[in-house]
Amino acid sequence: MIPKDVFEQTLLGFFSPVRAFLDDDSVTEIMINGPSRIYVERRGRIESTSAKFASGHDLLSALRNLAQYVGRPFDERRPILEAHMPDGSRVEAVMAPAATDGPTVSIRRFYREALTAEKLVAFGTISRDALALLQALVAGKQNIIVAGGTASGKTSLLNVISSYCDPLERIVVIEDSRELQLQQEHVVHLESQPGDEKGRGQITIRKLFQASLRMRPDRIVVGEIRGSEALDLIQAMTSGHGGCMSTVHATHPADTVSRLETMALMSDVALPLHALRAQVASAVSFILHATRLPDGGRVVTSIAEVVGYEPDRGYQIEELYKSELRREHGKVASRLVPTGFLPRCAPYLEALGQRLPAAMLEAAARRRRHAGGAA
């Protein structure tokens, strides 16, 4: 049997045309559109490179070695590969017949140095007082969904807010491919596995989620909800498993609950739509929404509370923080400001010793004074 470190170095040798990008901290994504068209993303901008593989065969050999490294099938009958490089970088690869122009690969860089709350503030991703709110919500074991589009920074945000979990808690993390970098000591990582050509040996996110409920978790963190496992997450959130966190692809906070609803309907459980919507509204406490700006910057544009669901009005969502966009020095800048609404769980958080940020309380006082004056 080949030693692991030797296997890793051999694998990286196959990827030598893009090795420099894997070691470059300014690169966030490597996109390989066939052997001779390779692009990278730096600071949110995509740029072409002169790097190339000698041939399509060389690129395919690299991918097949990667598939062997992670123990996943990758051939003409199963032409999609979800994997990770030795450093943890996430890989999504597609080959023929699904990829008509040759093997296509996206490598999302894995950062050895974990992103911190201080760095998010320095980058302008989120305000310090909004982070203080999130810290209180996590300590209060509220269920939080991090939503946003592709490459909007959802995973990075989830990493940061998970750092507010009690270090003594037992956290079960479920992912398709390991990306989350939780800093707590008592963390259990579970990773889904594909089946063979007949589906044998498949371990889905949903199966892992169901297993995790019997593993005495204090919290369950799902890297990304993409299918019927949404129903299991919703039901866990409404049955005493507080403090759950996950990410979802969604354009706006209101779209997030609709997406969860749609994915829950993919399950084999026949649940009346009105009952499902009531469960979604009860399960999801808060939505943290991230957006990628035109210049490539990633910012939090909303922190919203799911207040409830009414049949004649739909989901009731109240924004606690929202982004004010403006133009500065020829670029789009975002400023996250409190709306004046306070979370319904504020008395509970206060009882736990969690203080809401001063800026939020001041905005709420201004709103009350304005409402009183208007009356």
Give pLDDT, residue 2: 60
pLDDT given for residue 309 in this prediction? 94
Least confident of 248-262, 267-281, 310-324, 341-355: 267-281
By percentage, how much of the chain surpasses pLDDT 70? Answer: 97
**Per-residue pLDDT band at 329 (split at 50, 70, 90):** low
For residues 171-186, average pLDDT: 87
**CA 15, chain centre distance (Å):** 27
Question: Confidence class of residue 374 from pLDDT cuts 50, 70 and 90?
Answer: low
> What is the bridge-based pairing of β-strands 171-175 and 219-222?
parallel
Over residues 313-340, mean pLDDT:
85
Q: What is the mean pLDDT of the chain?
A: 89
pLDDT at 248: 95
For residues 224-228, give the mean pLDDT.
90
Q: Residues of 343-374 as b/e, b for ≥16 C-beta within 10 angstroms?
A: bebbeebeeeebebbebbbebbeeeeeeeeee
Confidence of residue 178 (pLDDT cuts 50, 70, 90): confident
What pLDDT is recorded for position 290?
A: 94
The percent of residues in the chain predicted with pLDDT above 90, rounded, is 59
Tokens matching residue 4? 């692991």
The yes-or-no verdict on residue 79 having pLDDT over 70 is: yes
pTM, full prediction: 0.86
Summarize the confidence of residues 292-296 as an average pLDDT: 81
**Backbone phi, then psi, for 57, in 5-degree steps?**
-65, -40
Q: Binning pLDDT at 50, 70 and 90, where does residue 258 land?
A: very high
Tell me, what's the pLDDT at 335?
Answer: 85
Q: Which two tokens stand for residue 276?
A: 């499902």
Residue 210 predicted with pLDDT over 70: yes
CA 205/CA 230 separation, integer angstroms:
10
Mean pLDDT of 150-176: 92
Does residue 375 register a pLDDT over 60? no
Question: What DSSP letter does each residue of 225-253 carry, written as one string?
Answer: --STHHHHHHHHHTTT-TT-EEEEE-SSH
Residue 277 CB burial class (10 angstroms; 0-12, 13-18, ≥19) = buried
- The predicted model gives 182-204 an average pLDDT of 84
What is the per-residue pLDDT for 250?
A: 94
Please check the confidence at residue 112 and state whether its pLDDT lies above 80.
no
- Range with the largest mean pLDDT of 146-155, 175-184, 323-332: 146-155
Preceding peptide of 97 cis, ω within 30°? yes
Alpha-carbon distance 134 to 70, whole Å? 35
pLDDT of residue 330: 65
